[in-house]
Chain A
């Protein structure tokens, strides 16, 4: 199962928007996955495969294993769908 995280500063706002968009995109791709919301510091110790976050937080994420994907417009289903598809292809999921 693919372990996916949506990361924002507090885990309250942006990441919850992102979570619903990611869920749609991952289901569309038919990927067996878990999806959690967390903040930038807490994700460091997580066993993650894919981390989605903002440009600003991307540099602050320290997670050795996961691929970090930067999203620009968190409301945009098209951008998120395309980036999910590309990320899955890259990690071979």
Chain B
């Protein structure tokens, strides 16, 4: 369940960032803070998005930046930065973005449950709206827990 992967220390809201790079750094920092990844993973996330383009924006307003396991992932982890103001990632269909879920995985299979749970969560627009409306980390954790119960 999604709640099993999201530690409160990996959640922040009201992030004021100037561009997509800073948005990825914000969510990457949370992966480091929650001990899911090493320092180098953050810039690897930014580099990967530079190289491959804004395909990490998978749904309207939602990005899931990540890097490769060998870029300093320590475990399967998830983070969420809710931005104060949305930023452009360069995605034709899904910009602008204000929900930035970072993730890390130790190999190409370890994160399968996480990624499916996350996709099912994001698919429900009411979940995304609830995250945007939340005012505290506790509220966000409750939204995620409730969605896991209903999944």
Contact = CB atoms under 8 A, between A and B. Distances in A.
Interface of A: 8-14, 16-17, 20-21, 40, 53-57, 72-77
A74 B52 contact: no
Nearest to A74: B58
Q: Is the interface of B mostly helix, strand, loop or mixed?
A: mixed
B115 to A, nearest CB: 5
A9 B53 contact: yes
Contacts of A40: 52
Contacts of B13: none
A12 B91 contact: no
B143 to A, nearest CB: 16
B91 to A, nearest CB: 7
Interface stretch (B17-25, B29-37, B60-68): B60-68
B91 A17 contact: no
B48 A75 contact: no
Given A10-B48, A13-B58, A56-B53, 5 more contacts: A9-B51, A13-B56, A13-B64, A17-B119, A75-B58
Place the interface of chain B in its size category: 20 to 34
Interface of B: 48, 51-56, 58-60, 62, 64, 66, 68, 90-94, 103, 105, 108, 111-112, 115-116, 118-120, 122-123
Contacts of A56: 52-55, 90-92
B27 to A, nearest CB: 13
Given A72-B93, A75-B119, A14 B53 contact: no
A53 B56 CA distance: 11
A79 B98 CA distance: 22
B58 A17 contact: yes
A76 to B, nearest CB: 6
Interface core residue of B93, B111, B118 (most chain A CB under 10 Å): B93
Given A12-B68, A20-B116, A76-B123, A55 B93 contact: yes
Contacts of A21: 119
A40 B60 CA distance: 22
A73 B52 contact: no
Contacts of A16: 112, 115-116
Nearest to B60: A73
